[in-house]
Chain A
Amino acid sequence: MAKRALTVDDSKTMRDMVAFTLKGAGFDVLEAEDGVHALSVVKGQKVDVVITDINMPNMDGVTLVRELRAKAEFKSTPILILTTEGGDDKKASGKAAGATGWIVKPFAPDKLLSVVNKVCP
């Protein structure tokens, strides 16, 4: 059974790229535009890894991480946040909220795959 990923980003380009890369690696990919949308998208779904941007309208990534971790089914789901070069504060707050790791933007698709493999069994 294919693993399922969730990509959350207000940029369609980024979502497309993440989806494209992960699909090529055999994942099913769910997409959401922001935190609120993400929470509705995952209802009733089993998700194996979450990749979320930080800067999004409606609900930002860090809040989303916290909300997800509050859900029983997401307690042990690897969550990756997309941060910017020099965004160490975001890495810290993301980790504090429960994120498993991060990927720095801009990133090459290979990097995405390697980080996903790193945190996703």
Chain B
Amino acid sequence: MAKAPFRSLCTALLGLFCAALLLWTGSAHAGQGAPAAVNPALEQRVTQLAQELRCLVCQNQTIADSQAPLAVELKNQVREQLARGQSDQDVIDFMVQRYGDFILYRPPVKASTWLLWFGPFVLLALGLLTLLLKLRQKPAAPADSLTAAELAHAAALLAGESPPGEVAPAARSIPAITTVSNASTAATASTA
């Protein structure tokens, strides 16, 4: 079909445009300036770890962001230990030993936090499964079949006559018959 090459051309052009955009910004990162800290690679590790640790005297900040004395001191501790060659896990163990799990913003995975870590995915699976089962079920009777009396009622309304007595809607999911909703449903017929 003649349309297919046009579509793929459009897509390719869009891709090229976006790639060019990315290239333009990518060049902003060319080269590293003179480091201000003694060891920028170490600083990077310190910052990353510090962002996982909670400042205990603040309301809700990491020790990376907080200016509180304890936070600064703890950050220094992190730096010293990493410089000494400790691993990230060693530093975390050090902190947890002194302050408990509370200091970790990433809760440890243990029995008491299984629900926390796995709950969302279990919930998602349950939700999708429930949805699938409900959609597969065929209902007993199609919801939009009407009895003869209801058909007559509907025909009367569409013809613009008043319905034979106010019929209270049964426990079916048919629209509540009032003159107002009739007007708005008539208006909907002309729109998609």
A binds B: no
